[in-house]
Structure 1
Amino acid sequence: MSIQQVAIVGGTHGNEITGVHLVQYWQSRPEEVMRGSFATELLFANPQANRVMKRYLDQDLNRQFALEDLNDHALTNYEQSRAKAINHLLGPKEDPRVDFVIDLHTTTANMGLTLVISEDSPLLIGMAFYIKQHMPEAVLFYEPKNRLDDYFLASLGRQNGLLIEVGATPQGLLRADVYDLTRRATLHALDYIDCVNRDDIPELPEQFEAYQFVDIVKLPESSDGRRWGMVHPNVQDQDYQPINPGDPLFVTFDGKDVLFEGARTHYLAFVNEAAYYDRNIGVSLMDKITLKRPR
């Protein structure tokens, strides 16, 4: 399938400003994201949240794009309404105007350059492999979803798009290294689409190591539901490292270790992500897998 319309989105979360500044930069230098075989458009997703430097005003914008929610006109808070407006611009989700969405994010977790893959499509996995071929430090984060049910903004395109997540960086802060990684990964993604459109796909590896999302683990809570602990020092910043049954995972405020109760070894991601404190989430659990390139 030829890709004719690509959207690059920044500021889906108002306090993740790397994407905001990249979108603003490319608005002033559009030639950097132009390619001969398709049109590129730029979108600043959540300006009101960015204005007050908050992740969101009412609800996480990047959880509002499931088809059922987009079609529910009773959902009218700011982010729900903003999602419907973005769906009008890029969609509608059932038959989108835009073919592919690249959504730019940062994280407070020590995840480096992470490419979130939410579909087993040759285009998306080929793109991730192409980026990793050029940027070996990239980590492939695999979490497949049905596009119409997927609530991420990147699912608005004709097929599930690419979410680029780079960290660690504090909320509301610009770091040159994070900006550079995001910029280069995005440009490689655009180059790959251009190669596909020109039927000039470069030789790629057949498979890469990846991490598949399994579950989340909440921070310790007291009997009355208050947070009662934090990520253990042995775990802090250890994204994509193994956690074994019986390893310390959290530590309570009175100094007691909380051990990992899983039945087998997993790998960690989004370790102590500040944005997830609203749901009291401490870490995500992943399985290490071999991701193969579909034909």
Structure 2
Amino acid sequence: MTNIAKVAIVGGTHGNEFSGIYAIRQYQANPALIQRPSFETSTLFANPEAFKANKRYIHSDLNRQFKTADLANPDLTNYEQSRAKVINELLGPKGNAKTDLVIDLHNTTSNMGACLIMTQAGPFYNQLAAYVKMKMPEAIISRDEDHLAAEDHALMCTLGRYGVIVEVGPQSQSVLRQDVLEQMHQMTAHILDFVELYNTQSLPALPKRTEAYLYLHSIKLPMNEKGERLGMVHKNVQDKDYHPIHPGDPIFTLFDGTEVPYDGDRVVYPTFINEAAYYDNNLAMSLNDKIWIELE
């Protein structure tokens, strides 16, 4: 087992997700909150220009710029593409990173609670998931395309040797909620505590099975051939993140009143329902399978 020596906590990857930004400011004002004896913790404000503009991003989504090939592409030069290259130098370089663990702090407008999102698989992540769920039973554990190699992931957290996203909602864009910020602090502290226990081989007995959700695919709002929206998320689905959707359940209501049923052949669990940031892509929600993470 190789110890975690350097941890980076990143806020403001999206300029209008305020909890991570203000959490970083609190950590900078009181570093003792994030320091642990066995490793060094730093902070990074990822996208200050987007924050100044009160926008998610200036030119393109910063959290989609971290594929290895894109970081090496000299033709990608807009603000976020250039900023990603700078961050890669600060925390990476990807594939041989100086940072052992990246914790990227995010908000969602969806009613998802406090979620630990893992984009890679392996024993470290499995133990982390079990620990966080044990300490914070209300937390949701999400596995997001963790079958992909890190080099093929575009997310910032994949810069580190390990990386996770702390995603907390619901919170409207460009506002703060005390309950959401407190949940973000709580989950981040549990992650840091886990790393300390992991490094010192002092982990408590962990649950052998941890409930989690595995990303399957995303679905779009109903649209016509002109790309115009024909309807909206059904009221029975709205705000019901992680509640089951059965085949035949209504998931959309068209503006003429027609209900559109889910046409899949399995029970799925929706997340990022009506996420405001995804409206430019007409995404309605992501669908997930419920799974168990097993410890050996």
TM over 0.5: yes
Aligned to 1:122: 123
RMSD across aligned positions (CA): 1.0
Match of 2:231 among 222, 229, 232: 229
Residue 62 of structure 1 aligns to a residue whose secondary structure is: helix
Q: Does 1:289 find its partner at 2:278?
A: no
- Please give the alpha-carbon distance, in whole angstroms, between the structure 1 residues aligned to 2:127 and 2:95: 24
- Please give the alpha-carbon distance, in whole angstroms, between the structure 1 residues aligned to 2:138 and 2:111: 13
- Please give the alpha-carbon distance, in whole angstroms, between the structure 1 residues aligned to 2:258 and 2:240: 20
- Please give the alpha-carbon distance, in whole angstroms, between the structure 1 residues aligned to 2:261 and 2:94: 43
Aligned to 2:92: 91
Residue 116 of structure 1 aligns to a residue whose secondary structure is: strand
- Please give the alpha-carbon distance, in whole angstroms, between the structure 2 residues aligned to 1:263 and 1:94: 39
Q: Does 1:207 find its partner at 2:215?
A: no
Structure 1 unpaired stretches of 5+: none
How many Å apart are 1:258 and its aligned residue?
1.4
Aligned to 2:200: 198
Q: Does 1:76 find its partner at 2:77?
A: yes
Please say which of residues 98-107 and 246-255 is displaced more in the overlay: 246-255
How many Å apart are 1:254 and its aligned residue?
2.1
How many Å apart are 1:245 and its aligned residue?
1.6
- Please give the alpha-carbon distance, in whole angstroms, between the structure 2 residues aligned to 1:150 and 1:201: 30
TM-score after normalising by structure 1: 0.97
Matches within 5 A, 1:151-166: 151-159=154-162, 161-166=163-168
Moved over 3 A (4+): none
How many Å apart are 1:158 and its aligned residue?
1.4
Aligned to 2:111: 110
How many Å apart are 1:135 and its aligned residue?
0.7
Aligned to 1:135: 136
- Residue by residue, what CA displacement relative to the aligned partner does 1:56-107 show, whole Å, maximum 9, x if unpaired? 1111111110101100110111111110010010011021111110000010
What is the letter of the counterpart of residue 23 of structure 1?
Answer: I
- Decide whether the 8 Å contact of 1:66 with 1:148 is kept in 2: yes
What is the letter of the counterpart of residue 52 of structure 2?
Answer: R
Aligned to 2:258: 256
Residue 180 of structure 2 aligns to a residue whose secondary structure is: helix
How many Å apart are 1:264 and its aligned residue?
1.8
How many Å apart are 1:108 and its aligned residue?
0.6
- Please give the alpha-carbon distance, in whole angstroms, between the structure 2 residues aligned to 1:98 and 1:46: 19
Residue 148 of structure 1 aligns to a residue whose secondary structure is: helix
- Decide whether the 8 Å contact of 1:106 with 1:169 is kept in 2: yes
How many Å apart are 1:117 and its aligned residue?
1.4
- Please give the alpha-carbon distance, in whole angstroms, between the structure 2 residues aligned to 1:290 and 1:200: 24
Aligned to 1:13: 14
What is the letter of the counterpart of residue 5 of structure 2?
Answer: Q
- Decide whether the 8 Å contact of 1:117 with 1:125 is kept in 2: no
- Please give the alpha-carbon distance, in whole angstroms, between the structure 2 residues aligned to 1:249 and 1:153: 32
Match of 1:149 among 121, 127, 152: 152
- Please give the alpha-carbon distance, in whole angstroms, between the structure 1 residues aligned to 2:109 and 2:26: 23
What is the letter of the counterpart of residue 68 of structure 1?
Answer: A
Structure 2 unpaired stretches of 5+: none
How many Å apart are 1:147 and its aligned residue?
1.1
How many Å apart are 1:209 and its aligned residue?
1.1
- Please give the alpha-carbon distance, in whole angstroms, between the structure 2 residues aligned to 1:228 and 1:41: 46
Aligned to 2:48: 47
What is the letter of the counterpart of residue 212 of structure 1?
Answer: L
